[in-house]
Chain A
Amino acid sequence: MERKFCDLHIYSDLSIGESSVKDIIEMAQKLDLSSICIIDHVKDKNKDNINRLKEEIKKQKPNIEVLAGVEINTEDTEILKRQISRLRETADIVIVSGGSSKINRAAVEDARVDILAHPERGRRDSGLDDIMARLAAKNNVAIELNFKMVLNTYRKIRSHMLAHMRDNAELVHKFGAPLVISSGAEKAFEIRTGRELASLGTLVGLELAKSLDCVSSVPESMIAHIKKVKGENHIMPGVEVIRKKESKKR
């Protein structure tokens, strides 16, 4: 069976990116990605564009699966919680922009979060410890290896970045939390094919099959889970409606 590749972290010009939704979808098709998620960036106060983003995606009529997600970027855990409860319904994928210890911890504690993005950003350490990794496994919050962090840095900083990512990948692997690799692209020319993204995984010490899973089966099962939760039969975690098929005799 051929693998399908996903990239769940791409910005368009409706948020902080530079390329239009149309260009992104075209490039993703060219690079054989089967599903992508275009991300709206929400800071402390600014309003979200997620509905506009959804309309724009619908207008393009893409041949591939295109989701609309949101990334929450804040330093305050209270605001983070409020934003998650506000945006969880509308957004397909909820990403928390990691970096500060408090936010990293709050994100892995919240089962409504899908991805904790770049927990090592702007830090001198990797941003994750054993407790957070265990919590991420329990709450099924995926930890992200962000390709852009390596692409746009050089020499000493890139080396530190890779070292932190290696630490995180090892921790996450040990505690069984999901790990995803995404491009974090701000323009169409920063998107990469699935196998190229997976090469970042092997670069930080993952096995080839595992790092391919990080761009195919892990995000795929995440999307499947979200679709199930958003479906009408879902009531709450553990409770769903199973309709009986009507018998033909009567």
Chain B
Amino acid sequence: MVPLKRLPPDIRIRERYIVFSIISEKHFSLEEAVRTIWSSALQLFGEAGTSRFHIWIPSNLYNEKRGIGIIRCSHDYVQDIRAALALIKKIDEEQVIIRTLGVTGTIKAAKTKFLDKKTLEDFSN
């Protein structure tokens, strides 16, 4: 499959990057986190509602040890995704709190502000 070319900026959806952190006694893999976040959003807003959010959770930016990751979404629905994250109680019968650390407009800002990537070397890996 050849991917489409990127849309011009005025037609593209506006994105926001929500940085979340999982507070728990255990560590969770990316798969578990993604599954829980999606099911919570689907339960609260349904399939049609969630389709508007354009959720994408980049796997390379998830840190399993620290439990910190990024959700990309449409900029109109940041609060709705916050609500879906707040209503998560458990991942695999283990109590968790998923809190948002902040919302940024670019991945770069999310990395420098919340993922402790400050120098050029940090960005290369």
- A189-B95, A202-B79, A208-B79 are known contacts. Are A195 and B100 too (CB-CB below 8 A)? yes
Q: Is A197 an interface residue (CB 8 A)?
A: yes
Judge whether B96 and A200 touch: CB under 8 Å.
no
- A30-B23, A150-B87, A151-B89 are known contacts. Are A189 and B79 too (CB-CB below 8 A)? no
How far is it, in angstroms, between the C-alpha of A155 and the C-alpha of B46 when the chains are bound? Answer: 11
Give the residue of A187, A189, A199 whose beta carbon is less than 8 angstroms from that of B86: A199
How far is it, in angstroms, between the C-alpha of A99 and the C-alpha of B96 when the chains are bound? Answer: 30
Judge whether A196 and B85 touch: CB under 8 Å.
yes
Judge whether B23 and A195 touch: CB under 8 Å.
no
Query: Which residues of A lie under 8 Å from residue B23 when comparing CB positions?
Result: 30-31
Judge whether A197 and B86 touch: CB under 8 Å.
yes
Give the residue of A30, A187, A189, A200 whose beta carbon is less than 8 angstroms from that of B83: A200
Residue in A closest to B90 when the chains form the complex, CB atoms: A189
Query: Which residues of B lie under 8 Å from residue A191 when comparing CB positions?
Result: 97
- A30-B23, A150-B87, A151-B87 are known contacts. Are A189 and B97 too (CB-CB below 8 A)? yes
How far is it, in angstroms, between the C-alpha of A191 and the C-alpha of B23 when the chains are bound? Answer: 11
Q: Is A166 an interface residue (CB 8 A)?
A: no
- A195-B82, A196-B82, A199-B82 are known contacts. Are A189 and B96 too (CB-CB below 8 A)? yes
Judge whether A193 and B83 touch: CB under 8 Å.
no
Q: Is A203 an interface residue (CB 8 A)?
A: yes
Give the residue of A147, A192, A195, A198 whose beta carbon is less than 8 angstroms from that of B97: A192
How far is it, in angstroms, between the C-alpha of A233 and the C-alpha of B99 when the chains are bound? Answer: 41
Query: Which residues of A lie under 8 Å from residue B100 when comparing CB positions?
Result: 193, 195-196
Residue in A closest to B99 when the chains form the complex, CB atoms: A193
- A30-B23, A151-B89 are known contacts. Are A199 and B97 too (CB-CB below 8 A)? no
Q: Nearest Cβ in chain B — how far from A26, in angstroms?
A: 11
Query: Which residues of B lie under 8 Å from residue A155 when comparing CB positions?
Result: 43
Residue in B closest to A202 when the chains form the complex, CB atoms: B79
Q: Nearest Cβ in chain B — how far from A151, in angstroms?
A: 6
Query: Which residues of B lie under 8 Å from residue A196 when comparing CB positions?
Result: 82-83, 85-86, 99-100
Q: List 13 A-B contacts (CB under 8 A).
A: A31-B97, A147-B86, A151-B87, A154-B43, A187-B95, A189-B96, A192-B86, A196-B82, A196-B100, A197-B86, A199-B80, A200-B83, A200-B86
Q: Which residues from chain A sit less than 8 Å from chain B, CB to CB?
A: 27, 30-31, 147, 150-151, 154-155, 187, 189-193, 195-200, 202-203, 208
